[in-house]
Structure 1
Amino acid sequence: MPKVKTNSGAKKRFTLTGTGKIKRKHAFHSHILTKKTKKQKRNLCHTGLIATVDQNQVRELLCLR
């Protein structure tokens, strides 16, 4: 039986914390930043945790299950 491959798009976007939670970055912070306010850009630069509803799906993509 072949090895299960990790989704390469997911491994670039998500990282695991020490306690096993999955970290993510905010969208809309890569380009067209001139029309966004300082406050918007500042709040987008922080990382967050993925929703509990999406955890199983992301874990499957990262082959953590």
Structure 2
Amino acid sequence: MGTKIKTHKGTKKRFRLSATGKAMHRSSGTSHLAKGLTKKRRRNLRGTTSLAECMESTIHAALNGYSN
């Protein structure tokens, strides 16, 4: 009898799947020391961005269908 594949907890905390199946993530460089960045850079780092297509299959396998 086969075993279930577990969801990777670190991936679960950092990525979510959009309705179309794209992996979305938060931009890096937003946690602290943001005052050194220009206002334009800080503004553009807001929100989430989609992951590169070459990494999509890896994230899908690690999430195992889970999405927030």
Query: Over residues 26-50 of structure 1, what are the superposed CA-to-partner deviations in whole Å (9 max), with x where a residue is unaligned?
Result: 0010001111111111111131111
Q: How many residues align?
A: 64
Give 5+ residue unaligned stretches, structure 2: none
RMSD: 1.1
Greater RCO between the two (CA within 8 Å, min separation 6)? 2
What is the TM-score when the length of structure 2 is the normalising length?
Answer: 0.84
Query: Over residues 11-65 of structure 1, what are the superposed CA-to-partner deviations in whole Å (9 max), with x where a residue is unaligned?
Result: 011111112111111001000111111111111113111111000111111013x
Runs of 4+ deviating beyond 2 Å: none
What is the TM-score when the length of structure 1 is the normalising length?
Answer: 0.87
| Percent of residue pairs identical | 36
